[in-house]
Chain A
């Protein structure tokens, strides 16, 4: 049982950064109708910026203050990149109502991000440094849990609650939902659609940058992360039913936990968790009428 709980919590920690990235993607998708292929690139930017800040800032990211500052700077820079991408690239897409073009443009952006990352940071793997307070394990009900995993889950929880409060319980959130359901009508009612869209890109970029930064100390940060993370991110979004933040949360966590449990109990299937979940979801949608329209977490808008 202890093994199960430990493995389960490790799985939630795997799902946490996926959720941060996927929720930003979902937010952008529901407001813009464009699935941003380059979103995983924003995550990678966050990780690289965090590693760079950790290597030369005074004390680096091994002190608590330096760590927090580095995470926030990474988030802020990536948010800036995200807005630049929106102003330069995606703004044309919703003027043209051409979703396919948006997909292409974001894919082109992904190739560009990949090349730029290779140019700046090279192709060898880097590692981020975390403060020592996050090292080691704490014991929850007799089960030793890595402190860093608890930290990751905590950040994802805060982000989930924050997003929920923002989208469903603020005036700004209702504007986001209005733009998401009918752009033209929202504009006619006096909502500044351009502002809402840009700000959604800020949120998406911020979340992706923070996800990359907090994930950097636990993974080997290199360019191949881009490809693997794109797959996890898309799987979470598609399993979560496109355009539902709650769905993205449930799907990310399901994927993480499945991966972790498989690695613990069926090592020969480790790494296939994503595909198993995906296969089950696709078949369920095809053959079980009840699942045809709903995904995990309910689907629907945001």
Chain B
């Protein structure tokens, strides 16, 4: 059952989602956006590695894992429309697994270890699903927030994972004979992960799974009536979301070479949510743009004054949420709508129907 008729508009031709759809589109040469995404990232990486100093490469290496993490978080925040404040759990969980596995010899470790991190993060999502699958709206947000906080305080006092000081000397494993530790090689490594995940997410977004997620977001009750297994769909979507965020955690750990319990803190989840909303949670590429802009503002424009950066990030984020609910990615659409004289068209987010939040308000 494909409840695409529930959606506001129908941008996706039937059958072009999923891996088969992706293969089909590649065979027909209809891969426009995918190729553009890959090309932009590859060219940016080439330019940065070749011409920019190590200072900016460091920021770039921070942007990559956050792009992946925000895109993963957006499966929960944007696709299924549940504002999770617990994704630091998966992000930091992935990072810690990567740190613990850093010294072990895993075959093809550069590829396999991040996948293991993702799987562990997905496993971590199961208890959260069990506790939270019936909760929506505000209750869900606060519940995920507190569950992640519990893990934070446990990790902080757990000496096996380094306690309050965390673990250090986390380096990416070799890919066959190639060492990926140098910043140039690692930049290419992160970019390839980012491209693979973004293209994969685009395919998933158009697949029946992605359509069902969006249907549940628009109207859970109607979607369920039409045969979408809402509860199972949520568990699966949270697991996929956690899986991707966990991979991002591994890449972040390699990029920073240390992990610490502060990565579990709820403000990290908040940052991921901010990235999704900043870029635009109703698209696949929005969170990626949001992550890049956020890290760039935070680390590059205001290096000398962290507090000014916080105030400005907060202020601009508030402005965007108020003026541009669709995020940065909707600027074009908004301008087009304003030109057409319909000032309200670009402003409105999809209506979240009231019963979607009935549980939290009771």
A:247-275 near B, CB below 8 Å: 271-272, 275
Query: How many A residues touch the partner, as a band?
Result: 35 or more
Which residues on the B side are within 8 Å of A98 (C-beta)? Answer: 349, 351-352
* A126-144 near B? 1/0 per residue, CB < 8 Å: 0000000000000000000
* A103-114 near B? 1/0 per residue, CB < 8 Å: 111011111111
B108: interface (CB < 8 Å): no
Q: Is the CB of B314 within 8 A of A101?
A: no
B:104-144 near A, CB below 8 Å: 130-131, 137-139, 141-143
Chain A, residue nearest B271 (CB): A111
Q: Is the CB of B360 within 8 A of A99?
A: yes
Interface stretch of the complex, out of B45-53, B188-196, B202-210, B303-311: B303-311
A229: interface (CB < 8 Å): no
Which residues on the B side are within 8 Å of A158 (C-beta)? Answer: none
Q: Is the CB of A231 within 8 A of B314?
A: no
> Could you list 22 examples of A-B contacts with CB < 8 Å?
A33-B361, A92-B322, A99-B137, A99-B360, A100-B81, A100-B352, A101-B349, A104-B83, A105-B321, A109-B314, A111-B310, A114-B310, A114-B314, A115-B311, A115-B313, A116-B314, A227-B266, A234-B146, A238-B142, A242-B360, A243-B361, A275-B149
* Cβ distance A105 to chain B, nearest Cβ, rounded Å: 5
Which residues on the A side are within 8 Å of B325 (C-beta)? Answer: 101
Binding site secondary structure of chain B: helix
A97: interface (CB < 8 Å): yes
Which residues on the B side are within 8 Å of A271 (C-beta)? Answer: 153
Bound complex: CA A136 to CA B240 (Å)? 56
* Cβ distance B41 to chain A, nearest Cβ, rounded Å: 28
**Per a CB cutoff under 8 Å, which of A107, A115, A235, A237 touches B315?**
A115
Which residues on the B side are within 8 Å of A227 (C-beta)? Answer: 265-267
* B313-332 near A? 1/0 per residue, CB < 8 Å: 11101100110010000000
Residue among A104, A230, A234, A237 facing the most chain B CB atoms (10 A cut-off): A104
Bound complex: CA A248 to CA B137 (Å)? 19
Chain B, residue nearest A92 (CB): B322
Q: Is the CB of A104 within 8 A of B314?
A: no
B28: interface (CB < 8 Å): no
Q: Is the CB of A111 within 8 A of B360?
A: no
Bound complex: CA A109 to CA B310 (Å)? 11
Given the known interface contacts A97-B354, A114-B314, the answer about A107 and B362 at a Cβ–Cβ threshold of 8 Å is no
Which residues on the A side are within 8 Å of B311 (C-beta)? Answer: 112, 115-116, 118-119
Give the number of chain B interface residues (Cβ < 8 Å). 45
Bound complex: CA A288 to CA B141 (Å)? 23
A278: interface (CB < 8 Å): yes
Bound complex: CA A89 to CA B143 (Å)? 24
Given the known interface contacts A35-B138, A118-B310, A234-B145, the answer about A111 and B317 at a Cβ–Cβ threshold of 8 Å is yes
Chain B, residue nearest A234 (CB): B142
Which residues on the B side are within 8 Å of A113 (C-beta)? Answer: 314
Residue among A107, A119, A243, A278 facing the most chain B CB atoms (10 A cut-off): A107
Which residues on the B side are within 8 Å of A107 (C-beta)? Answer: 270, 273-274
Which residues on the A side are within 8 Å of B39 (C-beta)? Answer: none
Q: Is the CB of A238 within 8 A of B146?
A: yes
**Per a CB cutoff under 8 Å, which of A108, A238, A286 touches B317?**
A108
B158: interface (CB < 8 Å): no
* Cβ distance B234 to chain A, nearest Cβ, rounded Å: 16
Which residues on the A side are within 8 Å of B321 (C-beta)? Answer: 101, 104-105, 108
Bound complex: CA A105 to CA B321 (Å)? 6
**Per a CB cutoff under 8 Å, which of B141, B315, B318 touches A103?**
B141
